[in-house]
């Protein structure tokens, strides 16, 4: 009898624990649903306003699937069936599905071109209610890989919302037109602000704010989404700026969803942009979300120096500064960080913040992925909430190539040899990357 009573108590305890876990999870799911509902209501209001002036916008049918905007030739139905089912599922996340006629109306027949890339052209436009948008028209001759990246863009951006991520309003996908419709960012890309001589000259406070905001956006992708998102292509050209220079991470075309429990990913080809891509992206090494941490570190170096990391024609660059990250490490290791500040025009009052950024960048670009910090740690270090240990040399892996280059050059200039060795190594990886990304 005592054994039966004990068994009953144990069973009751287990049931109570399970019920508590269920209730806790239900509360968490409810909170997430409420937050998502608020976001979706805002998007629905914008879509409704757009629909009022653009009746051709395709609306979901009562059963949740989207009716086609017009008849599509039978030869395209089978080819596009699977893609359309995917996009119809995405409609439940509330990006609007537009027709080609909508896009022509939004852009005034594509009157203002903002830029172009390997996959198409971006135009400025506006919804009928006045909301400014950027319309990315993808090349009509997309291969299977490009179509997969289109779906990745819609699937990823449609499920995420954060102040430091560019918002996707909607898309167009039919036999004639494939496009993505984003919020419009007034100041354009960080690339233009940093490297365009006619662009805005930002103070160090604004630049450090861009660094911190970008870090928070990547942290959200890595640690705060339901599924971890790896961007694969963090660089100044993929960081856009609002009117008050709030940074927003853009272009999820290379992104890929993976479960948080997955430690490594299997890559089918090199990704990213040479100069920013982590070594494991173009070498036969395991790939994790830490590849974005490496790219972020390279971006921080460019913000710190207000120049490209490898820029041979820069007027203020000496031969030994050809590859900026290693030159910075050498100055930092020798206790001469003042040289870095002087070369970048950083005032003494910003010295502590600049050195903090430098240390973070040096940790982010460590060759071994496990030596790089998480993005939440990066944010805390940038905001002064976490102590930063003294960085170790992130470029020791270049030593053997450096010795070969310096001995063959005969000029004894270690900095130049280091830059040349890195450049050649990067180009070997970059050639494969460029081939796979079609000039992205």
* Residues with a known catalytic role: 233
396 touches 367 (CB < 8 A): yes
List, in sequence order, the alpha helices (H) in 345-388: 351-364, 375-382
87 touches 98 (CB < 8 A): no
Torsions phi, psi for 133 (to 5 deg) = -135, 160
398 touches 310 (CB < 8 A): no
Task: Let me know if 361 is exposed, middle or buried by CB neighbors in 10 A (0-12, 13-18, 19+).
Answer: buried
120 touches 138 (CB < 8 A): yes
DSSP string, 287-304: B-THHHHHHHHHHHHHHH
| CA angle centred on 274, ends 225 and 377, rounded to 5° | 35
**Binding residue per annotation — 136?**
yes
Both tokens assigned to 395: 């470029």
Q: What count of other Cβ atoms lies within 10 Å of the Cβ of residue 228?
A: 18
Both tokens assigned to 356: 């903090």
In order of 111, 184, 292, the CA distances from 298 in angstroms are 36, 26, 10
Please enumerate, by residue number, every residue annotated as part of a binding site for ATP: 136
């Amino acid at each position: 009898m005592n054994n039966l009573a004990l068994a009953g108590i144990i069973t009751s305890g287990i049931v109570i624990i399970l019920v508590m876990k269920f209730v806790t999870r239900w509360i968490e799911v409810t909170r997430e649903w409420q937050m998502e509902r608020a976001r979706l209501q805002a998007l629905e209001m914008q879509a409704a306003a757009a629909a009022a002036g653009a009746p051709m916008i395709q609306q979901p049918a009562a059963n949740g699937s989207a009716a086609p905007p017009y008849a599509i030739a039978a030869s395209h139905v089978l080819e596009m069936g699977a893609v359309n089912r995917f996009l119809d599922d995405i409609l439940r996340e509330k990006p609007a599905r537009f027709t080609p006629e909508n896009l022509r109306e939004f852009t005034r027949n594509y009157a203002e071109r903002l830029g172009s890339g390997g996959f198409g052209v971006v135009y400025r436009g506006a919804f009928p209610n006045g909301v400014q948008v950027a319309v990315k028209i993808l090349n009509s001759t997309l291969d299977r890989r490009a179509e997969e990246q289109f779906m990745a863009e819609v699937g990823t951006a449609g499920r995420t919302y954060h102040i430091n991520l560019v918002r996707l309003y909607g898309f167009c996908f039919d036999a004639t037109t494939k496009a993505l419709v984003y919020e419009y960012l007034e100041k354009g890309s960080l690339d233009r602000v940093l490297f365009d001589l006619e662009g805005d000259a930002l103070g160090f406070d604004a630049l450090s704010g861009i660094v911190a905001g970008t870090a928070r956006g990547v942290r959200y992708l890595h640690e705060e989404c339901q599924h971890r998102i790896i961007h694969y292509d963090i660089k100044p050209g993929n960081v856009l700026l609002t009117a008050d220079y709030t940074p927003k991470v853009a272009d999820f075309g290379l992104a890929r969803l993976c479960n948080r429990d997955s430690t490594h990913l299997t890559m089918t080809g090199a990704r990213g942009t040479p100069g920013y891509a982590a070594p494991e992206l173009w070498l036969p090494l395991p790939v994790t979300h830490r590849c974005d941490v490496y790219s972020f570190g390279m971006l921080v170096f460019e913000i710190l120096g207000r120049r490209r990391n490898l820029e041979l024609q820069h007027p203020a660059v000496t031969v030994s500064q050809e590859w900026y990250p290693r030159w910075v490490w050498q100055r930092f290791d020798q206790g001469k960080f003042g040289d870095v500040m002087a070369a970048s025009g950083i005032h003494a009052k910003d010295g502590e913040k600049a050195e903090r950024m430098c240390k973070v960048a040096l940790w982010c670009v460590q060759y071994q992925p496990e030596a790089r910090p998480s993005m939440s740690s990066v944010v805390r270090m940038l905001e002064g909430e976490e102590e930063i240990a003294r960085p170790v040399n992130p470029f020791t892996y270049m030593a053997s190539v450096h010795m070969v280059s310096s001995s063959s050059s005969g000029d004894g200039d270690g900095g130049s040899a280091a830059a040349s060795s890195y450049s050649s190594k990067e180009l070997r990886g970059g050639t494969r990357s460029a081939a796979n990304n079609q000039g992205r």
